[in-house]
Chains A and B, each alone.
Chain A
Amino acid sequence: MPESDVGRYRVFVTLKPGLLDSAGRAVGESLKTLGFGDVQQVRIGKLIELELADGSKAEVEEMCKKLLANPVIEEYTVEEQQ
């Protein structure tokens, strides 16, 4: 299969708003220690890159629902790469 046919997707998984991100909070405090006093909030998420031979954005969203994200605590967005 020519490389141009490969579907590339980026999935961003983030904690739901309002949910305490203790790691993000620690990083925020560290940034303040470095002098970045204007830091209001830091939230850490995940970036998952996928290459699919014959996939679609809908399939990637299905993957998010089934495994890549936990709907109880996380949100996700899927970006199709050109």
Chain B
Amino acid sequence: MRVAVIQTPGSNCDQDAYFSLRDYLGADAEYVWHRETSLEGFDAVVLPGGFTYGDYLRGGAIAAQSPVLFEVKRFAHEGKPVIGICNGFQILTESGILPGALVRNENRRFLCKKVFIKRVNATSFWTEGVPEVMAVPIAHNEGRYIADEVTLNQLEAEDRIAFVYCDQDGNVTPAANPNGASRNIAGILNAGGNVLGMMPHPERVVSELIGGSDGRRLLARLAVPTW
């Protein structure tokens, strides 16, 4: 599987994603500049975290209009795997590939710490087989997921909530919600289950050497040999 790691001015987790995939998981990852108009030959897309275009206007708003995003939309529509992490999640909501929006944290602080998330959907391309509770870092100022009640109910009914914030024992409580996200949501899926947007950073926990390996199983989905 050939994986495109999209680079946009202001991406800053692109190298984490690239090295996690390539060096730790053995995936066939390549950088793709946001000006590219074709993802021909690629099988999956990673939209990494960062502050694309300095978060001007809104986080991910300008990157969502990048030429390569038209291709990412095609990918999403065709059922190919797409993951947006942190700012990448914001790009997915800004481009309309995923519903809802990510707004400023309730407590007005930039949050940079390890949190626990619980798998909700257990059958999608991305979530099947991942640990039920994972310790994964967050690093965001605008990570509070919100959507109207109709959308939230639809996400629940269609089993499209990928991850929710929880405590270390897997209890989903208001106290375990770091940013005030609706229904503790940390990540959601599209209707096909092939597009995942999440605020926590699985690419930062792929080795015990760097503090954890709970993100390995999730990203290892992309390490399918190309041959």
Band of interface residues on A: 10 to 19
Cα–Cα, bound, A46→B93 (Å): 20
Q: Is the CB of B108 within 8 A of A70?
A: no
Cα–Cα, bound, A22→B62 (Å): 23
Residues of A within 8 A of B173 (CB): none
Cα–Cα, bound, A65→B104 (Å): 21
Q: What per-residue 1/0 map shows which CB atoms of B128-170 lie under 8 Å from chain A?
A: 0000000000000000001100000000000000000000000
Residue in chain A with minimal CB distance to B108: A22
Residues of A within 8 A of B104 (CB): 22-23
Residues of A within 8 A of B103 (CB): 19-20, 73
Cα–Cα, bound, A72→B59 (Å): 14
Given A20-B180, A67-B57, A67-B65, verify A72-B93 contact (CB < 8 Å): yes
Q: Which of A19, A20, A22, A70 is in CB contact (< 8 Å) with B58?
A: A70
B21 interface hit (Cβ, 8 Å): no
Q: Is the CB of A72 within 8 A of B61?
A: no
Residues of A within 8 A of B180 (CB): 20
Main secondary structure of the interface of B (DSSP, over half): loop
Q: Is the CB of A67 within 8 A of B61?
A: yes
Q: Kindly provide the distance from the CB of A71 to the nearest chain B CB, expressed in whole angstroms.
A: 9
Q: Is the CB of A26 within 8 A of B108?
A: yes
Residues of A within 8 A of B65 (CB): 66-67
A68 interface hit (Cβ, 8 Å): yes
Cα–Cα, bound, A68→B172 (Å): 36
Q: Which of B100, B106, B108 is in CB contact (< 8 Å) with A72?
A: B100
Q: Is the CB of B108 within 8 A of A23?
A: yes
Q: What per-residue 1/0 map shows which CB atoms of A49-80 lie under 8 Å from chain B?
A: 00000000000000000111010110000000
Q: Kindly provide the distance from the CB of B179 to the nearest chain A CB, expressed in whole angstroms.
A: 10
B214 interface hit (Cβ, 8 Å): no
B107 interface hit (Cβ, 8 Å): yes
Please name the 3 residue pairs, one residue from A and one from B, whose CB atoms are nearest each other, closest first: A72-B101, A22-B108, A73-B101
Identify 12 residue pairs between A and B in the complex whose beta-carbon atoms are under 8 Å apart, listed by A's number.
Answer: A19-B103, A19-B146, A20-B103, A22-B104, A26-B108, A46-B57, A67-B61, A67-B62, A72-B101, A72-B146, A73-B101, A73-B146
Q: A20-B103, A67-B57, A70-B58 are in contact. List 10 more A-B contacts (CB 8 A).
A: A19-B103, A22-B105, A22-B106, A22-B107, A23-B104, A23-B108, A66-B65, A67-B61, A70-B61, A72-B93
